[in-house]
Structure 1
Amino acid sequence: MTSKLEALETWASGPLEQLQPSARNQLARSIGQELRRSQQKRVLTQQNPDGSKFAPRKKRDLRGKQGRIRRKVEMFKKLRTATYMKARGDSNAVTVGFTGRVARIARVHQFGLKDRAERSAPEVRYETREVLGLTETDINLIRDSLLTHLTT
């Protein structure tokens, strides 16, 4: 995967250097937005970049005090919104990532680190769930965006 990304980078470096900085900024922003959309769709389907499903949540008691069963909420529902998942692009780079406190939550799940669910809760090791990552379709999306921008 990284070799394909490096090959794409070396292939695109020549034509990108010939573009004006404003055109590179515009291209980087559009690629960043498309990458964010693809990441949002992948998180919605609860899949890692390699196509495997996210590790399931631990079983919990879903009954409240009144005896009602709460509905199960999908993982990372708010995390995938544009409020938290930001796409940035300038003349040198394109980044898709998280901002603020949710960046810590995403990092814990991305790398399977230890964290506390609440302040007084015990420390728990979370399963690895790759919230951000490039797939083959993402690399093809980047390549196609570059080609359409350079040919127009």
Structure 2
Amino acid sequence: MADELAEVERLAGAILRNLSPAERGKILRRMGIALAGSQRRRIAAQRAPDGTPFEPRKEKQQGLPSRGATCFLYPSGGPGGSRRVIMKSFTWGTGRMMTGFDIETGAIRSFDFDKVIKWLPVPDEHRNTSTGGRLRRRSSLRRKAMFRRLASARFLRAGVDDQGMWVGFTGKASQIADIHHSGLRDKPSLRGNAIRYPKRELLGATPDDREMLLDLLFAHVGTP
């Protein structure tokens, strides 16, 4: 973020040098906190410093029904081109075929998992009490914004040192953030294969950030 803030540093350098160490530290801390807050809001909005949206997550694999009752829309040759199927006590056959008792036809039928149009809730009267007719996810679908925890005040912090103020990630979070910020390769789990993550720039000062920092500085030195 240093390059983006070069203009602020150039304009503010002389002003800061004329402040006492205590006053300089006070305004730098205020500027750092404000900049960190701006970074969090932008990350929460899922946008890079240049305003472009983050590349979205890849869609999770579709849910697999449990072995209890299940309900879905399936292609048919009748009116509308599909019908609702309610199956009980089905099993997996060859490949991705589901075989079980089709309540509507009153017979054992097989259905191709990949042809299912849409999974539906199982009607209460047909639910299996042990499963509740729920879908079992191969992996949970996280609907929250990406980096929500990473960008929290616990990990994205601001501070002041001998060089001035800084805003960045701390501890292990800094390594995780760098992988996403730079689009590097990493293992999603200990046993998983390394993958390359899309580049999603997490830190960077925008023109609005620079204006905000200058406004804070000028307001501070202009206060009697």
TM-score computed with the length of structure 2 as normaliser: 0.62
In structure 2, the residue matched to 1:51 is 51
1:74 aligns with 2:142: no
- Matched letter for residue 159 of structure 2: R
Identity of aligned residues (%): 35
Deviation at 1:71, TM superposition (A): 5.1
Select the structure of larger CA radius of gyration: 2
Contact 2:4 2:205 in 1 (8 A): no
Give 2:198's match in structure 1, choosing from 112, 127, 132: 127
**Partner-residue secondary structure (3-state), 1:94:** strand
Structure ranking higher in helix proportion: 1
Q: Does the CA contact (< 8 Å) of 1:24 and 1:90 recur in 2?
A: no
Q: Which runs of 5+ in 1 are unaligned?
A: none
Determine if the alignment matches structure 1 residue 8 to structure 2 residue 8.
yes
CA RMSD of aligned residues (A): 2.2
Helix, strand or coil at the partner of 2:135: coil
Aligned to 2:222: 151
- Structure 2 residues without counterparts, runs of 5 or longer: 67-133
Greater Cα shift, 3-12 or 113-122:
3-12
1:11 CA drift (Å) = 2.1
Is the Cα–Cα contact under 8 Å of residues 4 and 204 in structure 2 kept in the other structure? no
**What are the equivalent positions in structure 2 for 1:81-96 lying under 5 Å apart?**
81-90=152-161, 92-96=163-167
What is the CA distance between 1:2 and its match in structure 2? 7.9
Match of 2:177 among 83, 103, 106: 106
Structure 1 residue 103: deviation in Å? 1.2
Distance in 1 between residues matched to 2:153 and 2:3, nearest whole Å: 29
| Cα distance change of structure 1 residues 54 and 4 upon mapping to structure 2, 3 Å threshold | closer
Contact 1:85/1:97, CA 8 A, preserved across alignment: yes
SS across alignment from 2:57: coil
Aligned to 2:212: 141
Q: Figure out how many residues of one structure are paired with residues of the other and give that number.
A: 152
Please, what TM-score do these two structures have when normalized by structure 1? 0.90
What one-letter code is carried by the residue in structure 2 that aligns with 1:117?
P
Which residue of 179, 186, 189 maps to 1:118?
189
Structure 1: 4+ residue segments shifted above 6 A:
1-4
Alpha-carbon spacing, 1:31–1:105, altered in 2? closer, same or farther (3 Å): same
